Amino acid sequence: MKRRYENMDQVSTKSSLADFLRWWKESSVKEKNVSWQMPVEKHPDIAFLQNNREIPTLTWIGHATFLLQIKGMNILTDPIWTKWLSGYKRLSPAGIPIEQLPPIDIVLISHSHYDHLSFSTIKKLPGAPLFLVPSGLGKVFLRKGYGRVAEFEWWGTHRLGKLICTFVPAQHWTKRSALDTNTSHWGGWVIEGIDTPTIYFAGDSGYFRGFKEIGERFLLDYTLMPIGAYAPEWFMGKQHVTPEEAIQSFLDTGAKKMFPMHYGAYMLADDTPKEAVDRLLGEWKRQGIDQQRLLMPKLGEVRQL
């Protein structure tokens, strides 16, 4: 019998057919203006990324995909360069062409949904990366011929060189086919090392007490927090934070700075990229949080950490 994974406190993210039909009816009459353009770095510093082995950097590729360079390692989170997803064309280009990436050492996967686990992208990655994946996904990678894979339960750790990667909880769910709902886990990743920034990649999540627990276990410098795919909130609320909840989640973690993500690349719900950004900035200002704690780089812009 297949193992089915659960959220903390047995919070269910299941939706009924009636819920889907209600969402479809509401969505069909809502106007979605996606003309707003994401800022893109016209000339990303590819030469620097190819040769950098010393300076900690973060480059947002788009959606939940980041290139992190830490302690000589090139790390990708949830890599996806796909131009089409669920019948919708990508709204913004990937910040860096996949063929211009440096050789990848580690790939961190948060969960199995198609916008976070793209095998069409993975097969094009340069290098021979080690894939760190949630429990239940290892066999999927092995079947597809990826032998360098290790899978983890929540709070499981992997040491590679001078880095430690820890798989941490999220409130979400998984599904890639009709029969595999929640047969693999979901979560985020914390990357830490000596004399290097500690980074929390949240993956995909609704608001839950786990954010505070993660903050209690780690001294975080940066949180990479999703802000999109939240509308309608009555339907998406348990699986995706709103921009306001993203800020509260960030504050719960105690991190010094936040990079918003998971918006602007794909139409996954009824919110638009502009709506997500406007709500984020509005709530940030309303709470009076220091503006220097919010980092919003262009796609493809290299940020030193």
Pairing of strands 163-168, 157-160: antiparallel
Other residues' Cβ atoms within 10 Å of the Cβ of residue 86: 9
What would the pLDDT profile of 53-110 be if each residue is shown by its tens digit? 999 999 999 999 999 999 999 999 999 999 999 888 999 999 999 999 999 999 999 9
* Main-chain phi, psi angles of 76, to 5 degrees: -115, 140
CA distance 254 to 228: 21
Once rounded to an integer, what is the mean pLDDT over residues 269-297? 97
| In the predicted structure, residue 1 carries a pLDDT above the cut 80 | no
Question: CA 64 to CA 37: how far, in whole Å?
Answer: 18
Query: Would 109 be classed as within a structural domain?
Result: yes
**168 in any annotated domain:** yes
| CATH number, position 79 | 3.60.15.10
Predicted pLDDT at 87: 86
First to last CA, the chain: 45
Give yes or no for residue 30 having a pLDDT over 90. Answer: no
Residue 44 lies in a domain: no
pLDDT in tens, 262-281: 999 999 999 999 999 999 99
91 — alpha (psi -120 to 50), left (phi > 0) or beta?
alpha
> What span, in angstroms and rounded, lies between the C-alpha atoms of 243 and 246?
5
Q: Which of 204, 4, 11, 208 is nearest to 114 (CA)?
A: 204
E strand or H helix at 286: helix 273-287
The letter for the amino acid at 193 is G
Domain annotation covers residue 40: no
Q: What is the mean pLDDT of the chain?
A: 96
78 is a domain residue: yes
Whole-Å CA distances, 24 to 29, 194, 234, 269 = 9, 49, 13, 10
- Count of C-beta atoms within a 10 Å radius of residue 300: 25
Contact call for residues 260 and 225 (beta carbons, < 8 A): yes
Report CA-CA distances (Å) from 296 to 12, 40, 110, 131, 188: 32, 11, 22, 27, 20
Residue 31 confidence (pLDDT) = 83
In a domain, residue 22? The reply is no
Q: Is the pLDDT of residue 261 over 80?
A: yes
Report yes or no on 16 lying in a domain.
no
List the domain range (segments joined by +) for residue 135: 55-304
Q: Is 35 a member of any domain? A: no
Domains: count for the chain: 1
Higher pLDDT, 202 or 24: 202
Radius of gyration of the chain (CA): 18
Neighbouring C-beta atoms of residue 10, cutoff 10 Å:
6
263 touches 115 (CB < 8 A) = no
